[in-house]
A and B are shown apart, each in its own frame.
Chain A
Amino acid sequence: DSGVTQTPKHLITATGQRVTLRCSPRSGDLSVYWYQQSLDQGLQFLIQYYNGEERAKGNILERFSAQQFPDLHSELNLSSLELGDSALYFCASNSGKSSGANVLTFGAGSRLTVL
């Protein structure tokens, strides 16, 4: 158990629908990162939050949005789903401190299947 909790583990839905993925960071970590990994593809950075504020944005589609709540958990919202959105979605966390020596701790991922 890495300490980063992601729910749900598996999700099957239909095109056009909307889903929400949830992430609880490791205790003490203030920063949350979201990544998308399609089948046999690399990790695509989506977005980063630090203590409730958006810090960096990657290749996140306009149909996707995220937020980090006061208790530091984060949610990734995916709407108007398309077949190509089927992927593993990983959440990672770290302290977010500007030390240059930060390490990411990843959750087990949420597997989204869009039919």
Chain B
Amino acid sequence: LAKTTQPISMDSYEGQEVNITCSHNNIATNDYITWYQQFPSQGPRFIIQGYKTKVTNEVASLFIPADRKSSTLSLPRVSLSDTAVYYCLVEVYGQNFVFGPGTRLSVLP
């Protein structure tokens, strides 16, 4: 299974763009990269998924370089409600999903 590495915590201010980078050096050809968001006492929620280049939805953008050894989740103009833990996951053909410690994002007023 590809192991992921992300910063343990990040601070930002309301209205700023936040970029969280995840390293996955051992990613395999068929692996997808998925990001989840978790609020306290709630289950993680899917944010975005990608395989290569750039993916954008109404919530975030995901940037994946050509070598796919890393990915960056970009949250535009964060608000206080974006304070949460963000997990980067590399999926392997629907096998068991092992979550790392994630990145604890704190958005300050």
Contacts and interface: CB of A to CB of B under 8 A. Distances in A.
Interface residues of B, number: 27
A101 B91 contact: yes
Given A42-B100, A43-B99, A58-B98, A100 B92 contact: yes
A104 B95 contact: no
A99 B99 contact: no
Contact of A92 (B43, B87, B94, B100): B43
A43 B92 contact: no
A56 B92 contact: no
22 contacts: A42-B100, A43-B99, A45-B98, A55-B95, A55-B96, A58-B98, A88-B41, A92-B97, A94-B94, A95-B94, A98-B93, A100-B30, A100-B32, A100-B91, A100-B92, A100-B94, A102-B94, A103-B34, A103-B46, A106-B43, A107-B43, A109-B41
Interface of B: 30-32, 34, 36, 38, 41-46, 49, 51, 87, 91-102
Given A2-B45, A92-B44, 11 more contacts: A4-B43, A42-B100, A43-B44, A55-B95, A55-B96, A100-B30, A100-B91, A106-B45, A109-B42, A109-B43, A111-B41
